[in-house]
Structure 1
Amino acid sequence: MIEVLPGDIDRAINDDHVLLDQLFRRLETGQGDRRILADQVVYRISMHLAAEEQILDPVFDEPAVTDRLTAGSVGELIKRGRDTRQRIKEAAAEIDRSRPGNLDFEEALNHLIADVRRQAAEQEGTLLPALRATVGPQRMAELGAQFTAAKYRAPTHPHPQTPNTSRSSRLLGGPAALVDRLRDRTSGRRGWFATDASGLLEPQSQALLDVFAALGPRPTEILEPAEARRQPTLSDAVARIRTARGDLEEREPVDSVFDFAIDGPGGQLTLRVYRPTSASPAGGLPVLIYLNAGGWVVGSLDTYDATPRALCNKERCLVVAVDYRHAPEHPFPAAHDDVLAATRWLLDNAGEIGGDPGRIAIAGEAAGGNMAVATCLQLRDAGQRLPLLQVLIYPVTSVTIDDGSGVDAADAAPLNRPMLSWFARHAFPRPEMLGDPRVALLDLPVQRLAGLPPAVVLTVERDPLRDQGQAFAQRLRAAGVPVEHIHYDGVPHEFFGMGAVLDVAEAAQDRVAAELHTVFNPSGQSSSGWPTGL
Structure 2
Amino acid sequence: MTFDDAFRNFREKLHLPEMQPPDLRLPIERLRQQFFRMDYSGEPDAPELAEVKLLTVPGPSGPLKARLYVPLGAGIPPGPGILFFHGGGFVLGDLESHDMICRRMAEGSRCRVLAIDYRLAPETCFPCAHDDALAAWQWISHHGEEIGIDHRRIAVAGDSAGGNLAAFICQQMNREGGPMPAFQLLLYPLLQFADIRSKKMSPQESGFFISVGLFEFFRGHYLPSPETFMDPRISPLFAPAEELRNLPPAHIIVCGWDPLHDEGLAYAAKLRAMGIQVSEKEYPSMVHGFLNLTHISATARTAAREVGKVTGEALGAI
* Structure 1 and Structure 2 fold alike (TM over 0.5): yes
Deviation at 1:296, TM superposition (A): 0.3
Deviation at 1:235, TM superposition (A): 4.1
Deviation at 1:372, TM superposition (A): 0.5
The 5 Å alignment of 1:26-65 reads: 29-30=1-2, 32-33=4-5
Q: Which runs of 5+ in 2 are unaligned?
A: none
- CA distance, structure 1, for counterparts of residue 303 and residue 75 of structure 2: 26
SS, match of residue 229 in structure 1: helix
The 5 Å alignment of 1:311-326 reads: 311-326=105-120
SS, match of residue 49 in structure 2: coil
CA contact (8 A) 1:389 1:455 kept: yes
Identity %: 32
Alignment partner for residue 199 of structure 2, among 394, 400, 403? 403
Alignment partner for residue 488 of structure 1, among 283, 289, 301? 283
Q: Deviations over 1:212-270 (max 9, x none)?
A: x2xxx663433332221122x4442x54xx54xxx578x54322211222221011112
Q: CA RMSD in A?
A: 2.3
The 5 Å alignment of 1:345-384 reads: 345-384=139-178
- CA distance, structure 1, for counterparts of residue 290 and residue 235 of structure 2: 24
Structure 1 match to 2:249: 454
- After superposition, the Cα gap between the structure-2 partners of 1:220 and 1:253, relative to the gap in structure 1 and judged at 3 Å, is farther
Equivalent position amino acid for 1:296 in 2: F
- After superposition, the Cα gap between the structure-2 partners of 1:500 and 1:451, relative to the gap in structure 1 and judged at 3 Å, is same
Structure 1 window deviating more from structure 2 (473-482 vs 454-463): it is: 473-482
- After superposition, the Cα gap between the structure-2 partners of 1:30 and 1:384, relative to the gap in structure 1 and judged at 3 Å, is closer
Deviation at 1:522, TM superposition (A): 8.2
Q: Which runs of 5+ in 1 are unaligned?
A: 1-28, 34-195, 524-534
TM-score by length of 2: 0.91
Equivalent position amino acid for 1:295 in 2: G
Deviation at 1:363, TM superposition (A): 0.5
SS, match of residue 499 in structure 1: coil
- CA distance, structure 1, for counterparts of residue 8 and residue 215 of structure 2: 19
Structure 2 match to 1:17: none
Structure 2 match to 1:228: 31
Structure 1 window deviating more from structure 2 (436-445 vs 348-357): it is: 436-445
Equivalent position amino acid for 2:13 in 1: P
Q: Which has the higher strand share?
A: 2
Q: Deviations over 1:455-475 (max 9, x none)?
A: 111100111211111211111
- CA distance, structure 2, for counterparts of residue 497 and residue 227 of structure 1: 19
- CA distance, structure 2, for counterparts of residue 340 and residue 511 of structure 1: 27
Q: Deviations over 1:98-118 (max 9, x none)?
A: xxxxxxxxxxxxxxxxxxxxx
Following superposition, which runs of at least 4 residues in structure 1 exceed 4 angstroms of deviation? none
Deviation at 1:273, TM superposition (A): 0.5
- After superposition, the Cα gap between the structure-2 partners of 1:280 and 1:444, relative to the gap in structure 1 and judged at 3 Å, is closer
The 5 Å alignment of 1:133-148 reads: none
SS, match of residue 377 in structure 1: helix
Structure 1 window deviating more from structure 2 (354-363 vs 222-231): it is: 222-231
CA contact (8 A) 1:361 1:387 kept: yes
CA contact (8 A) 1:409 1:417 kept: no
SS, match of residue 7 in structure 2: coil
- CA distance, structure 1, for counterparts of residue 121 and residue 146 of structure 2: 31
- After superposition, the Cα gap between the structure-2 partners of 1:289 and 1:202, relative to the gap in structure 1 and judged at 3 Å, is farther
- CA distance, structure 2, for counterparts of residue 423 and residue 443 of structure 1: 19
CA contact (8 A) 2:84 2:114 kept: yes
Alignment partner for residue 302 of structure 1, among 91, 96, 101? 96
CA contact (8 A) 2:157 2:185 kept: yes
- After superposition, the Cα gap between the structure-2 partners of 1:221 and 1:475, relative to the gap in structure 1 and judged at 3 Å, is farther
Structure 2 match to 1:149: none
SS, match of residue 496 in structure 1: helix
TM-score by length of 1: 0.56
